[in-house]
């Protein structure tokens, strides 16, 4: 099966044509040659960038020399009013301190503790679904948000405050792409001023709601009545080097990125996974049979049964990585593949192109979950699969996502048979994550 892929632009276009394409969609603004190039250089009067698909260069940037290639200050330009100084946008010692505090919350034993909340959210998602034709991205966003609230704050999504946060995030998410023009072009500060006023106001409202959640949790911690969830773990963990904890403002920053990244990326992957299996009745039947083995009250150990669901989720992340591009900045001049990369150049790492690279993957555009059980597929994944980034900045929630995704996929397919809707082929576009331009429409039938 060859699922939908954005059409590439012509290899040569004017700068202004490129900027117009970029504003419409990051993915279709790129030329087809990037699916086979190891490196490509882009020069304009405004910026100079290098897209790197060479696994050796990716390893150098993300793993071997991460301090020499910090996250570009421009990446979070549109999101900074919401995310503040969250772990998503910081660099250097600030980022290292934040990760020392945050990472213990996502260790293996803690993931086992979050499983009951994850399962409850998945069961609630299945209960909300109805038979018939429906757009599936919205209920998957609802489900993923429920997972985040239950695991982070021990609150279901139908809690009034949780529901209000989710509603405001839904309004915010499509207005602010994770990579916008400001990530590549130093636009004048006055140009989008009206838009920035709107963005700031929306972000301030969301942050005020999050502050209410964190203040309530701080009071519970002080009283000794706080539940043992991710928020409590993060708020009570001290930096092992300094003994300091996150202050109230920092905790708001971190909750904002946990919610934004945690629910938006999972929702994107789940919706695409459901679309992909809907087009393959035999695969769907095998997944439903596998899910039936979970029983009515599965435990954490039962996740080991979901081997096929895990491979489907991996393959979905390969074809539709939720975060399609990452940008780093060169702190010093270097040479990549014989080319001089000047200080300040933007280094673009593109999971979207890497995951479909013609020199790394067999049949790169095909949906083939079986590749994950072949040596060729596993070898390609070692150098050409990074939906969660890599190196020290690998997503702390990667393990969390790889439990949540297969579990929710299994629960839904155990309850419903899916079929694609004729004449409703989704077109991938990059908003905050890789979504479908007009949604993903499926026909659901109860099993």
The 10s digit of each residue's pLDDT in 146-196 is 999 999 999 998 888 888 888 887 777 655 555 454 555 555 444 443 445
Torsion sign over Cα 371, 365, 35, 75: negative
Is 240 part of any domain?
yes
Helix or strand or coil: residue 176? coil
40 - beta bridge partners? Answer: 51
Find the CATH number of the domain harbouring 406.
1.10.630.10
Is 220 part of any domain?
yes
Torsion sign over Cα 393, 330, 185, 10: negative
Is 387 part of any domain?
no
> Residues 169, 110, 106, CA angle at the centre, nearest 5°?
55
Poorest-pLDDT segment among 65-69, 79-83, 206-210, 235-239: 79-83
**Greater confidence, 140 or 110?**
140
262 - beta bridge partners? Answer: none
User: H or E stretch including 424?
Assistant: none
Mean pLDDT across 402-419: 97
Maximum Cα interatomic distance, the chain, rounded to a whole number of Å? 63
Q: What is the pLDDT of residues 34-45, one digit of tens each?
A: 999 999 998 776
Mean pLDDT across 231-239: 95
Torsion sign over Cα 85, 91, 95, 97: negative
Helix or strand or coil: residue 440? coil
Top-confidence range, 38-42, 107-111, 226-230, 272-276? 272-276
**Measured between alpha carbons, how far apart are the two ends of the chain, in Å?**
24
Give the C-alpha distances (Å, rounded to integers) separating 205 from 102, 169, 180, 248, 257. Answer: 25, 10, 22, 16, 15
- Give pLDDT, residue 190: 44
Poorest-pLDDT segment among 32-36, 127-131, 255-259, 348-352: 255-259
Give the C-alpha distances (Å, rounded to integers) separating 435 from 234, 428, 429. Answer: 30, 6, 6
CA distance 207 to 381: 38
Q: How many helices (H) and strands (E) does the chain have?
A: 15, 11
How remote is the C-alpha of 116 from its chain's centroid? 23
In this structure, the number of other CB atoms found within 10 A of the CB of residue 160 comes to: 8
Is 214 part of any domain?
yes
> Residues 283, 135, 388, CA angle at the centre, nearest 5°?
65
Is 12 part of any domain?
no
What region does 127 belong to: left with phi over 0, alpha with psi -120 to 50, or beta? alpha
Number of domains within the chain: 1
Q: Position of tokens 């709107």? A: 198
Q: Which two tokens stand for residue 210?
A: 């999050």
Instruction: Quickly state the pLDDT bin for 385 (edges 50, 70, 90).
Output: very high
- Give pLDDT, residue 158: 83
In this structure, the number of other CB atoms found within 10 A of the CB of residue 47 comes to: 15
Is 167 part of any domain?
yes
Domain that holds residue 215: 76-346+395-446
Is 98 part of any domain?
yes
417 - beta bridge partners? Answer: 445
Cβ contact 162:148 at 8 Å = no
| Residue percentage of the chain with pLDDT more than 70 | 89
Cβ contact 77:365 at 8 Å = no
Is 57 part of any domain?
no
Closest CA to 263 of 175, 195, 165: 165
CA distance 25 to 234: 36
Give the C-alpha distances (Å, rounded to integers) separating 245 from 98, 149, 249, 288. Answer: 9, 22, 11, 45
Give the C-alpha distances (Å, rounded to integers) separating 30 from 12, 158, 238, 366. Answer: 10, 41, 44, 20
Q: What is the pLDDT of residues 252-293, one digit of tens each?
A: 999 988 888 888 899 999 999 999 999 999 999 999 999 999
Helix or strand or coil: residue 386? coil
Closest CA to 416 of 136, 150, 2, 118: 136
């Amino acid at each position: 099966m060859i699922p939908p892929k954005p059409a590439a632009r012509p290899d040569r276009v004017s700068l202004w044509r490129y900027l117009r394409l970029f504003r419409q969609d990051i993915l279709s603004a790129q030329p087809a040659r990037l699916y086979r190039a190891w490196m490509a250089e882009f020069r304009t009067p405004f910026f100079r960038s290098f897209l790197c698909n060479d696994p050796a260069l990716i390893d150098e940037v993300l793993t071997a020399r991460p301090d020499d290639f910090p996250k570009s200050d421009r990446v979070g330009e549109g999101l900074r009013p919401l995310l503040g100084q969250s772990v998503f946008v910081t660099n250097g010692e600030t980022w290292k301190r934040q990760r020392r505090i945050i990472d213990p919350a996502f260790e293996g034993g803690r993931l086992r503790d979050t499983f009951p909340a994850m399962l409850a959210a998945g069961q609630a998602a299945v209960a909300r679904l109805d038979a018939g034709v429906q757009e599936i991205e919205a209920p998957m966003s609802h489900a993923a948000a429920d997972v985040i609230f239950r695991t982070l704050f021990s609150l279901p999504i139908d809690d009034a405050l949780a529901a209000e946060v989710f509603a405001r995030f839904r309004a915010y998410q499509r207005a602010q792409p994770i990579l916008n023009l400001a990530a590549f072009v130093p636009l004048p500060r006055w140009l989008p001023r009206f838009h920035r006023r709107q963005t700031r106001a929306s972000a301030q409202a969301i942050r005020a709601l999050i502050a209410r959640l964190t203040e309530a949790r701080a009071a519970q911690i002080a009283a000794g009545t706080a539940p043992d969830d991710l928020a409590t773990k993060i708020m009570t963990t001290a930096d092992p080097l300094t003994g300091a904890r996150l202050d109230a403002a920092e905790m708001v920053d971190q909750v904002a990125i946990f919610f934004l990244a945690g629910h938006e990326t999972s929702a994107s992957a789940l919706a695409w996974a459901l679309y992909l299996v809907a087009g393959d009745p035999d695969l769907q039947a095998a997944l439903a049979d596998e899910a039936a083995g979970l029983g009515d009250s599965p435990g954490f150990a039962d996740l080991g049964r979901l081997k096929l669901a895990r491979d489907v989720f991996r393959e979905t992340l390969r074809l539709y990585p939720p975060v399609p591009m990452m940008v780093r900045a060169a702190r010093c001049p270097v040479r990549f593949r014989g080319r001089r990369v000047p200080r300040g150049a933007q280094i673009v790492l593109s999971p979207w192109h890497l995951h479909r690279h013609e020199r790394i993957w067999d049949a790169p555009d095909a949906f083939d979950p079986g590749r994950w059980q072949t040596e060729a597929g596993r070898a390609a994944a070692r150098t050409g699969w990074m939906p969660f980034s890599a190196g020290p900045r690998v997503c702390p929630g990667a393990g969390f996502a790889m439990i949540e995704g297969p579990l929710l996929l299994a629960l839904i397919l155990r309850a419903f048979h899916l079929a694609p809707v004729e004449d409703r082929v989704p077109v991938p576009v990059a908003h905050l994550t890789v979504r479908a331009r007009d949604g993903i429409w499926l026909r659901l039938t109860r099993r």
